[in-house]
Structure 1
Amino acid sequence: MIKYNLRMKRVEKLVELAQSGLIEALELIIEKYYPMVVKISSKYYAPWAEFEDIIQNGLIGLIKAVFYFDFEKSSFNSFAWRSIESEIKTFITYLNRRKNKILSESSSIDSLNEAEGSEQADYSLEDKNSSVIKNAFIQIIKEKIMNYLKDIEIDIFEMWLEGYTYKEIEKKLNINLKKIDNTVQKIKRIGKTKIDKFILDQIFSN
């Protein structure tokens, strides 16, 4: 019933409602803009990825557009198009960089195949059990937190997200444990005070 009523609203109103926390508005935007995502995705080719992977990352770009959109700067259509393209390009660049590294380090077809399997596990957005919305929200949270961090803190943040222990981070970055713990506590404070509760709820609700 909610979605039925929302279908009559302009897209800018849907964006406003989605930004305020109405998940049905976000889902309707995804439905309406899915053909655009497919159209943009069809312009790109990545030998190391399925077409569906490109579409999924395009959808992430669309969702990020919803939450980064500034009503005073441009139309949502043009902003969404740029965001979708940017996310797809970032995804393809990432894959190409990873594959080039694998090819340079591999000495046999077998080792290349093994590396391919491990790479898919490395790329967080490849988790098929997570929804595209949750993946987009994870990226939004990471990007917003990084805006409040300095260079070394970003390095700590990225390693911490990847599951490194304090000791491993200390050894890798050559910094003391107190600095690492202070940074992690800072990250948690930023998450609690600077990230919309609606977005956090979508991440941790399941």
Structure 2
Amino acid sequence: MDLREEYTQLTDEQLVKRYQDGDQAVLNFICEKYKPLVLKNSKKYFLVGGENEDLIQEGMIGLFGAIGDYDTSSDVTFFHFAQLCIDRQMIKAIEASNRKKHSPLNAYISLYDEDGTELEEPASIADDPAEIIIEAEENLGLIDRLKAVLSPMELQVFELYMQDLDYKEIAARLGKAPKNIDNTLTRIKIKAKSI
């Protein structure tokens, strides 16, 4: 009997115990077994400025942590413990991503000197910093509404387009014909105009 057949005969708790006891080969088996759970859980969440693959990667990190941290003497099944760890890791990534959208508030430039005297307005600052923040928040709202109506392919193309890639670079990244990407961008622009 080869190792894979042997592993299929064991419970998840026994598999994890073997890994914790030093059987490194069992790690790949556990990860393959639990990857469908990670994929399923990743569909419940949305990562601002990221892709589903980012959430899947975070979920796999959570799974790896669960494998190392699971207490084999616990009454909780490994499945439920792993599911909790996977979800928590994805939620942490989402919360970290959401904090970044508030960076205009966290990276402000003071209009006053250390002694409280007003500085001359730098050329790069607009007339009203509050307007900049309000406009940025409105743009985030529009982007979220647009993402909600995009197909999975359109969403992928949109995310890459927002990274300042042109349609040829996007096509190369996604392994698609440039004309397909150009057509997809046109559909995205039509949907954006309707919003």
Residue in structure 2 matched with residue 12 of structure 1 by the alignment: 13
Name the structure where helix makes up a greater proportion of residues: 1
How many Å apart are 1:26 and its aligned residue?
A: 1.2
Residue in structure 2 matched with residue 135 of structure 1 by the alignment: none
Q: For residues 85-110 of structure 1, what are the alpha-carbon distances to aligned partners after superposition, in whole Å with 9 as ceiling and x for unaligned?
A: 0000001111111232157648799x
Equivalent pair of 1:3/1:24 in contact (CA under 8 Å): no
Residue in structure 2 matched with residue 86 of structure 1 by the alignment: 88
Equivalent pair of 2:48/2:94 in contact (CA under 8 Å): no
What letter corresponds to residue 89 of structure 1 in structure 2? I
**Residues 3 and 103 of structure 1, relative CA distance in 2, 3 Å threshold:** farther
Per the normalisation by structure 1, the TM-score is: 0.48
**Residues 102 and 48 of structure 1, relative CA distance in 2, 3 Å threshold:** farther
Residue in structure 1 matched with residue 68 of structure 2 by the alignment: 67
**Residues 17 and 96 of structure 1, relative CA distance in 2, 3 Å threshold:** same
Per the normalisation by structure 2, the TM-score is: 0.51
Mapping of 1:22-171 within 5 angstroms? Answer: 22-71=23-72, 72-101=74-103, 105=107
What letter corresponds to residue 36 of structure 2 in structure 1? P
Q: For residues 29-73 of structure 1, what are the alpha-carbon distances to aligned partners after superposition, in whole Å with 9 as ceiling and x for unaligned?
A: 110011100111100001211100100000111111111111224
Superposed CA RMSD: 2.5
Query: Where do 5+ consecutive residues of structure 2 fail to align?
Result: 109-124, 126-131, 137-161, 164-195
What letter corresponds to residue 10 of structure 2 in structure 1? K
Query: Sequence identity, in percent?
Result: 32
Equivalent pairs, count:
111
Equivalent pair of 1:17/1:25 in contact (CA under 8 Å): yes
Q: For residues 116-175 of structure 1, what are the alpha-carbon distances to aligned partners after superposition, in whole Å with 9 as ceiling and x for unaligned?
A: 98xxxxxxxxxxxxxxxxxxxxxxxxxxxxxxxxxxxxxxxxxxxxxxxxxxxxxxxxxx
The structure with the largest alpha-carbon Rg is 2
Query: Where do 5+ consecutive residues of structure 1 fail to align?
Result: 110-115, 118-206
Q: Deviating runs (4+, > 2 A) in structure 1?
A: 1-5, 102-109
**Residues 15 and 104 of structure 1, relative CA distance in 2, 3 Å threshold:** same
